[in-house]
Amino acid sequence: PIYSMANFGELVLVIGDHHIPSRSNVIPEKFRRMLVPNKMQHVICTGNLGSREQYDELRQLAPNVHVVSGDCDEMVGGTNDMPQMPPTRVVQIGEFRIGVIHGHQVLPWGDHMALAGIRRKLNVDILVSGHTHQNEVVEHDGCFHINPGSVTGAFSPTQTKLVPSFILLAVQGSTVVCYVYELINDNLEVSKTEFTKKDISSSLSSY
Amino acid sequence: MADVEIKLDRYDRCYSPGDTVSGVIIVRSDSKLSHQGIKLQVCGTVDLQLSARAVGLFEAFYNSIKPMELISYDITVSEAGRLPKGVTELPFEFDLKPRKNMKLYETYHGVYINTQYIITVEMFRSMLAKNIRKAIEFIVRIKSKPPPQNKVYFEINPEKLKNVQKENRQLIPRFSIRGHFDSGVCNIERPFTGNIVIEQSDQEIKSIELQFVRVETCTYENNEAREATEVENIQLADGNVCHGFDIPIYMIFPRLFTCITTIETAFKVEFEVNVVILFKDTHMLTENFPIRLVRVPTRFNF
Amino acid sequence: MAQIEPDRSPDTPTFKWKPRQRNLKSHTYQNVHSQSVSRHPLEKTVSISNKRKNKFEHDPLSTDYASKDESSDPLAASGVSAVDLDPLTAALISRRKESEEKETTEPEVKQRFQPWNFKRRAILSKYTTKQRIPVILDSTQDEDASSLDIPVNPPKAAVTLVKKRKKNQNTQNVSQKEFLLEMDGLRQRLTSCWARGQRQQALKIALMCGKMLETVSVPEFYPSMFVMCVDVLETFGKLVHTQIKDQYQNPEDYQNEEAFYFPNATDRAKDVCWNWFHKSGCIRDLVPRLYIEMSLLPCYRFITDSTQITEVMRRISHTIRGVGNPLVASYARAFLASKGREACPETYQDVLCETYGDFLTVFREIEKLKFSGVPQVVSRSMSPSAYADLFQPALSWLVRHIGAGNTEEVFFALIQQARACWNNASVLVHVLGAFDARFVSKHARSIAQLIRQAEESSTPKALLYRAFGRAVVEAPPSQEMCLPILNEVWKVVKKLTDPELYMNVAEVFVEFVLQNFPGKECNTLLKDILNHVSSPDAQKKVQKQIHSVTLSVMKYRTDFDVLFEMDNFLPVVDLLDREMKQSVSKTMLDSFARHARPTADPVLVNALFDVARLLHDSLDSLAIEDERAQVANLIIQFIDKLDFGNDLEQQLNIYNDARRSFTNLDRVTEALVVRVAGLVMKAHKYMKGRHSRKTLAFVKACIAYCHITIPSLESMSSRVRLFLHCAQIGLMNGLVIQSEGMLEAILRVFEESEESTSEPSRLCLETDLLQSFLSTLLLISGHPEDGPFFLVERFIEILIDHKAWDASSKIRLFFDVLSLLSAYGQTTFQYRIPGITPNDKMYGCSDEYLRKLEKLFQISIDSVLHFLGAVQTSSPKEHTMLSLAFANSLVTCLEMNVHSATLIVRLNQGNDTSSV
């Protein structure tokens, strides 16, 4: 039933920084109602899930789940029997190469120059990162930096406004529509950005 | 290479008097085959033989007993001619009827008496080639009317023993054995059934057996030669059985080595069963019962 | 993108190294193309049931489809046809249905029926002997049937003395082990003979097995012998069955097994089948004849219907009465049960009821004769009860066959028969276990009385009560019957003095009580247990049962308040030895984590704390890592259930207790630090970021707790990770000095790692930790005396001098330092924490500030060049890669001017750069 939506391309859930249970108890109900199995083909997770249960829940959502390790994944303290995740991953979806990193390694956190360095190192069109708990969709040198924020709106030293958010990508060939889901004062707000992959030569020349 | 085979229509090759025996002669040849005629011979005989034990007494007639010919046919299946390469089936049939003044008896393979029916096919060849012969046996069974039910009851106790003198009777252990056979006239196609109960026995029982015996008698010039042989022996109980237990008697009559009870002037085939009880002290108790076998075809033969 | 910017106007000081300024918004097109949407892919996702649907209609997400803009809503289009019931829910529902179905059919499926193989192993391991067992090596005796010495024409009735019948059996006595091997060989011989077409030979082998079952020379081994012989006979039966099936021209044309059987069977198949029954029918000896016919019993299906087969079974059942040896007869009966089930599953049970009656009759007879027919009992080499025990597997098998799915009438018939014939516990125990537990439960009281009256010979009554208990646990009787049942049973059971027997019953009845009595009854029963197994000797014997009792209690009393209200529960746990107690403690904590609500109840907390402490203390230095991890997890889960709500002080106290109690487990200590740090954030949230004096004192206490606790951890990375985490939390709560203290502590860990032999390499690999550390430094304001960069300076010093880190790693870390320095040079920092004035605000990029920064740039660049030199000699390839990466790093971090451009160009040319 999933692939009957072929004309809309593949749906990719980008989500992360749950910090359950150390910083939050649950994913907000309004999000949970939307995040049900058999909608998405991929889940990309920026890490810091917080517990094995969260990981297992992600795996219910889609056949392909790509998770990277966050700075707190080693620290939850005992109950955490999460499988070891790699610090970075690269996933090919449609015509896009998508790189994933949690983001605590980025110096300073959330800096696009630094992110661009990682993006180039991974040789990807889209770099997904988290850690800052601030969602972002940014075009940078013809490529894209995406940060889904924290799905639970968990606290972070660099963030004062705690807005739960995640991102959904609808990838169709060389086009991606990027939906940002935010809960602002418990009201769902969705915005979208559409972008098309520049052909290879132009993206090369931009560097 | 040529080969001849007889195939009867009935899978079990069993026929009764009056039946039509039919079948085909199958000729297989890897080339065209010419022959001088194909003939079928049907032959049924009773052979009488006397045992070595009897030979001393009756040497005189031992050599003179001739087989009795019950049935004899010569059938031409095909006149001289040619057969094509490959498999050829030549049908035949004949009525199962005895010769004049004769009777058909059941197929039977005894020790001294043998009743047998054989079909032989012979293909005559030109002078240079050997004739081809093949023979098969078919089985004759004589049907009877259903026998009347006559249960046979028996009771064995020391008082009834015939070979023990009165004064010795107290030496024999006390026992009381009771039982019955469902019929003294038995359908050969059904098992022999009944029961036996040990009501009392001072002495431990070692074994209870049912012995099935046939008695063959040949008559010649007012002399009789009688021979009894055990056909089957079935253990009904092994060891000291519980007193009062109703133990079934159940014996299937063996095929071919048994036929219906046949009493003729020239020969007789009769049957008996013995109930044999062995005691632990090696005493053996036997009781003998003549039975008559008949054949009533049944759908199930148990 | 990279452009060389012209030098600034002359009035501003020039810097050799100046951080490249970035416009934080310049590359950011966020929400430029972005538009707010009312339609999106995740709309209208669930509609589990109509009820839910209605609920959703009030939800802004599930507004009308009619106006939907398909192009902006890929999911909506599919949503129409996709799922009325989303797959997850559907799967859940179907699974539930399945389990419901399972529940209803279970009693039938289970049928209290263990397959033969299961019994087989148990029998083989139980019934063993050291004696030698006679084995028939070659069987030619079936040929000699005609050579008997019985006169064929005796007088009408006669008694004679006969010579012992000669037996030309070739037997040999072998050990048990040899016997098993021999039988295995026999089975292989059977199959190989069969494969070669030697049917007659195969039959002979099967006959030999039948023959071996005829005599009981070593009774204690007979059950095992039976098992082995039956294996061969079963194989034989299957081979014949297959042979008959092979008579069918195209077996694959038959859709099912039934199509092969009567009345559909072909004449050929019937004929082959009859031949076998004729062959088996004329076997002289009773026992082999019986076994051969029984092994061929399923073949009767080719030639007749189940009514007739039932008659055949009945005849065989009767014929077994002729088997004088009771042991031989009872195992023959068991075999009949097993084969009868295959041959006519619909009716075989009726026959077996009679068979069961025969069994009872024989046994009554044995008892009447006081076992005088059993030489082993007469010679006192075996006790009557040991002898009776040999019958148990056969009896159990027979009764279980009768009981499987059978009716209440039959259940009572069997009990009646046992009462009338042989009212023995060993019969009753099987009958109680074989039928639907509901029958037992329905008449529980009268059965309890019956048990009291039953005679004990080989089976102690306790086992009967146990079987009875199992039944009433499986099918609970009506509520008003429970107490009378318990009283009736306990009247007898409490008098049991043997602790093992007592516990066997108690184990089951504890569950019964747990199921049916909500109140103190269980505690009373536990008290009774404590009284019965007071001696250490007794305790040793019943560890398994006590263990099972404790597990039952925890299974049914998942409410821990209720559990600990039973003051006898923990004392019962105390009866267990160390290992068992450990396992129970684990189960208890696990159950608590699984079922209990978060609690603050002091009694409960204390009790469980004791349990957790016990578990913790039971770990010695030899405990394996898995074990430690498991225990640590359980303790952490337990700690996480302790919840004092808004009483954060109390929560901190309990974490204090926990720290003292679980010092051996670093994982627990780590978790505690994280939990305490969590408390700080809880207070922060509660106070909306503005602490009162009281809460400030509290968060200080928390941070102090962390600061004191972290250094006790063995793992350096854990220490760094936790210090970092706590420092960040400290900063968020305005505890600048405390946080600086922790960041300094991290530096000390780095220094310390120089000496440590085990960890430094690992620490170096975890560069992400160091990177995160550096990023954190950006949050810290400068020190009034030590300057704005005091921590970075310290870090650079450590980095340069660190003896355990290799040159390449150091270079890479310097790239990170350069990134940090560049971030320090921005007029506005990437991020800041409210309430803390970072360097950008404090120094406003003053010249002095930039000078200091330039100095650090210089040191860093020099260091990189220095270490590059070291790498160049050892690994030129690595050198090239690092040089390139360095150039890259410089482009990102520095403003382009003559110095930086020259350096980069030279790096790219691979020239010697040591003189810059």
Distance from CA of B253 to the nearest CA of C (A): 8
Average pLDDT over residues C389-408: 89
Q: Encode pLDDT of A56-71 as tens digits.
A: 899 999 999 999 988 8
Residue tagged 């620490």 (tokens): C763
Distance from CA of C831 to the nearest CA of A (A): 6
Q: Is the dihedral of CA C172, C176, C178, C181 positive or negative?
A: positive
Tell me, yes or no, if A58 comes closer than 8 A to chain C by beta carbon: no
Higher pLDDT among residues C740 and B55, named by residue: C740
Cα gap C178→C900, rounded to integer Å: 90
Weakest-pLDDT range from C305-314, C682-691, C779-788 = C779-788
Residue from the list A72, A77, A117 with its beta carbon closest to the beta carbon of C671:
A77
Residue tagged 């067992």 (tokens): C133
Weakest-pLDDT range from B51-60, C133-142, C792-801 = B51-60
Contact C151 B286 (CB under 8 A): yes
Average pLDDT over residues B119-138: 89
**Sheet of B246-251: strands edge to edge?**
B152-156, B175-181, B192-201, B246-251
pLDDT at C45: 43
How large is the C-alpha radius of gyration of chain B?
A: 26
pLDDT at A150: 94
pLDDT at C388: 86
pLDDT at C630: 87
Mean pLDDT value across chain C: 81
> Given a cut of 50, is residue C617 above it in pLDDT?
yes
List C-alpha distances in Å: C270 to B300, C264, C312, C354.
Answer: 11, 10, 17, 30
> Given a cut of 70, is residue C912 above it in pLDDT?
no
User: Of chain A residues 137-176, which have a CB less than 8 A from chain C?
Assistant: 137-141, 155, 157-160, 168, 170
pLDDT at C905: 85
Residue from the list B172, B245, B247 with its beta carbon closest to the beta carbon of C159:
B172
Contact B245 C321 (CB under 8 A): yes
Tell me, yes or no, if C40 comes closer than 8 A to chain A by beta carbon: yes
Contact C722 A75 (CB under 8 A): yes
Average pLDDT over residues C861-870: 90
Higher pLDDT among residues A80 and C74, named by residue: A80
pLDDT at C193: 92
pLDDT at A126: 94
Cα gap C389→C330, rounded to integer Å: 12
Give the pLDDT band (50/70/90) at residue C700: very high
Weakest-pLDDT range from C92-101, C117-126, C802-811, C849-858 = C92-101
Tell me, yes or no, if A111 comes closer than 8 A to chain C by beta carbon: yes
Average pLDDT over residues A149-164: 88
User: Of chain C residues 864-903, which have a CB less than 8 A from chain A?
Assistant: 888-889, 892
Contact B285 C150 (CB under 8 A): no
Give the pLDDT band (50/70/90) at residue C12: low
pLDDT at C538: 85
Cα gap B6→B91, rounded to integer Å: 10
Q: Encode pLDDT of B63-83 as tens digits.
A: 556 788 999 999 998 888 888
Set of chain C residues whose Cβ sits within 8 Å of the Cβ of A177: 72
Tell me, yes or no, if C38 comes closer than 8 A to chain A by beta carbon: yes
Give the pLDDT band (50/70/90) at residue C70: very low
pLDDT at C450: 84
Residue from the list C271, C319, C361 with its beta carbon closest to the beta carbon of B250:
C319
Cα gap C432→C448, rounded to integer Å: 11
Contact C823 A108 (CB under 8 A): yes
Q: Encode pLDDT of C739-790 as tens digits.
A: 999 999 999 988 888 776 665 445 555 788 889 999 999 988 888 788 889 9
Mean pLDDT value across chain A: 84
Give the pLDDT band (50/70/90) at residue C123: confident
Helices (H), C622-766: 625-641, 648-661, 666-686, 693-709, 716-732, 736-755, 760-765
pLDDT at C81: 31
Weakest-pLDDT range from B184-188, C702-706, C892-896 = C892-896
pLDDT at B126: 79
Length of chain A in residues, anyone?
A: 207
Mutate to test the interface with C, among A32, A76, A79, A152 (most CBs of C within 10 A): A79
Set of chain C residues whose Cβ sits within 8 Å of the Cβ of A198: none
How crowded is the C-beta side of C566, counted as CA atoms within 13 Å?
Answer: 27
Distance from CA of B286 to the nearest CA of C (A): 5
Contact B301 C304 (CB under 8 A): no
> Given a cut of 50, is residue C56 above it in pLDDT?
no
Cα gap C865→C886, rounded to integer Å: 9
User: Of chain C residues 611-640, which have a CB less than 8 A from chain A?
Assistant: 629, 632-633, 635-637, 640
Mutate to test the interface with A, among C43, C664, C665, C768 (most CBs of A within 10 A): C768
> Given a cut of 70, is residue A204 above it in pLDDT?
no
pLDDT at B246: 92
Neighbours of chain A (3+ CB pairs under 8 A): C
Among C443, C731, C83, residue whose Cα is nearest residue C431: C443
Give the pLDDT band (50/70/90) at residue C44: low
User: Of chain B residues 125-164, which have a CB less than 8 A from chain C?
Assistant: 156, 160-164
pLDDT at A44: 95
Give the pLDDT band (50/70/90) at residue B210: very high
CB pairs under 8 A between B and C: 152
pLDDT at C117: 63
pLDDT at C295: 95
Contact A5 C640 (CB under 8 A): no
pLDDT at C60: 27
Give the pLDDT band (50/70/90) at residue C162: low
Task: List, in sequence order, every beta strand (DSSP E) within C734-889.
Answer: none
Higher pLDDT among residues A8 and B291, named by residue: B291
User: Of chain B residues 251-270, which have a CB less than 8 A from chain C?
Assistant: 251-252, 254-255
> Given a cut of 90, is residue C53 above it in pLDDT?
no
Tell me, yes or no, if C823 comes closer than 8 A to chain A by beta carbon: yes
pLDDT at C317: 95
Among B183, B245, B239, B188, residue whose Cα is nearest residue B209: B239
List C-alpha distances in Å: A200 to B288, C459, C633.
Answer: 111, 86, 50
Set of chain C residues whose Cβ sits within 8 Å of the Cβ of A180: 34
Weakest-pLDDT range from A32-41, B67-76, C14-23, C439-448 = C14-23
> Given a cut of 90, is residue C126 above it in pLDDT?
no
Give the pLDDT band (50/70/90) at residue A72: confident
pLDDT at C784: 79
> Containing H/E element for B127?
none
Weakest-pLDDT range from C207-216, C622-631, C820-829 = C622-631
Residue of C nearest to B240 (CA): C324
Set of chain A residues whose Cβ sits within 8 Å of the Cβ of C772: 71, 104-105
Chains A and B touch, using 3 or more CB pairs below 8 Å: no
Give the pLDDT band (50/70/90) at residue C154: low
pLDDT at C106: 38
> Given a cut of 80, is residue C148 above it in pLDDT?
no
Residue from the list C267, C277, C358 with its beta carbon closest to the beta carbon of B11:
C267
Tell me, yes or no, if B211 comes closer than 8 A to chain C by beta carbon: yes
pLDDT at C68: 35
Average pLDDT over residues C673-700: 91
Mean pLDDT value across chain B: 87
> Given a cut of 60, is residue B28 above it in pLDDT?
yes
Higher pLDDT among residues C105 and C111, named by residue: C111
Give the pLDDT band (50/70/90) at residue A6: very low
Set of chain C residues whose Cβ sits within 8 Å of the Cβ of A136: 28, 30
pLDDT at C816: 92
Cα gap C430→B144, rounded to integer Å: 52
pLDDT at B254: 87
CA angle C596, C598, C599 (to 5 degrees): 95
Q: Encode pLDDT of A39-51 as tens digits.
A: 889 999 999 988 8
Q: Encode pLDDT of C459-503 as tens digits.
A: 788 888 888 888 888 888 888 888 888 888 888 888 888 888 899
Please, what is the end-to-end C-alpha distance for chain A in angstroms? 41
Cα gap B174→B275, rounded to integer Å: 18
Give the pLDDT band (50/70/90) at residue C79: very low
> Given a cut of 70, is residue C83 above it in pLDDT?
no
Contact B242 C318 (CB under 8 A): no
Q: Encode pLDDT of C537-568 as tens digits.
A: 888 888 999 999 999 998 888 888 888 888 89
Cα gap C503→C548, rounded to integer Å: 10
> Given a cut of 80, is residue C242 above it in pLDDT?
yes
pLDDT at C73: 33
Distance from CA of C78 to the nearest CA of A (A): 6
pLDDT at C744: 93
pLDDT at B138: 94
Set of chain C residues whose Cβ sits within 8 Å of the Cβ of A138: 27-30
Set of chain C residues whose Cβ sits within 8 Å of the Cβ of A72: 725
Residue B167 CB coordination number (10 Å): 7
Contact B242 C365 (CB under 8 A): yes
pLDDT at C150: 55
Average pLDDT over residues C699-722: 92
User: Of chain A residues 63-102, which have a CB less than 8 A from chain C?
Assistant: 71-72, 74-79, 81, 87
Average pLDDT over residues C56-60: 29
pLDDT at C122: 80
Tell me, yes or no, if B283 comes closer than 8 A to chain C by beta carbon: yes
> Given a cut of 60, is residue C275 above it in pLDDT?
yes
Neighbours of chain C (3+ CB pairs under 8 A): A, B
Tell me, yes or no, if C729 comes closer than 8 A to chain A by beta carbon: yes
Residue from the list B162, B208, B252 with its beta carbon closest to the beta carbon of C281:
B252
pTM of the complete model: 0.64
Set of chain A residues whose Cβ sits within 8 Å of the Cβ of C729: 157
User: Of chain A residues 183-202, which have a CB less than 8 A from chain C?
Assistant: 188-195
Q: Encode pLDDT of A106-140 as tens digits.
A: 988 988 888 998 999 999 999 999 999 999 998 88
Residue tagged 């030590």 (tokens): C786
State ipTM.
Answer: 0.66
Cα gap C633→A80, rounded to integer Å: 8
Tell me, yes or no, if C46 comes closer than 8 A to chain A by beta carbon: yes
Contact C150 B211 (CB under 8 A): yes
Contact C668 A78 (CB under 8 A): yes
